[in-house]
Amino acid sequence: MTEAYVATAAITIEAAPDRVWSVLTDPDAIKEFMFGTEVSTDWTVGGPITWQGVWEGKSYQDKGTILEFEPGRRLVHTHLSGLSAQDDTPENYHTLTWTLEGDAGTTRLTLSQDNNATIEEAEHSKAMWESLVKSVKEIAERA
């Protein structure tokens, strides 16, 4: 695993951690902040998670495994992009860690992705995740 190249995006959200958590785990909200993707999971640790949709005209199905699930605090799962053309082997999966810190009115959301092969890949992922956490913020704050 290439832990040295980690992509991290963080944002402060004017909403309680429970509200942000509900955005991160609700299929309708996920569809909104993850570019139209359909998620399938029961959020059980050790269970599968899949995302499918269309990106830039190409159908995809991404997959992973739920590693940690601490409501209102932390979600960790693996991820392999169906568009990456990488073999479905453990060394090709990223680990995504969603961490929520805060109180009743404000949440700091941090999303980290490890196992990026190069600094360029990490920078590309960081830009994508920064856009995504901004969308999570917008959804969480409008309720």
What sign for the dihedral angle of Cα 75, 3, 49, 52?
Answer: positive
Q: Mean of the pLDDT values across residues 103-122? A: 93
Model pLDDT, residue 143? 65
Burial class (CB in 10 A: 0-12, 13-18, 19+), 42: exposed
The answer to which of 9-18, 46-55, 81-90 has the lowest mean pLDDT is: 81-90
Neighbours of 114 (CB within 10 A): 19
Q: What percent of the chain has pLDDT over 70?
A: 97
Q: Mean of the pLDDT values across residues 131-142? A: 97
- Given strand 38-41, what is the order of strands in its sheet? 7-13, 107-113, 94-102, 74-79, 58-70, 48-55, 38-41
Q: Name the pTM for this structure.
A: 0.91
Q: Is the pLDDT of residue 9 over 50?
A: yes
Domain segments of the chain as ranges: 7-142
Q: What percent of the chain has pLDDT over 90?
A: 77
**Class at the top of the CATH hierarchy for domain 7-142:** alpha beta
Name the 3-class secondary structure at 125.
Answer: helix
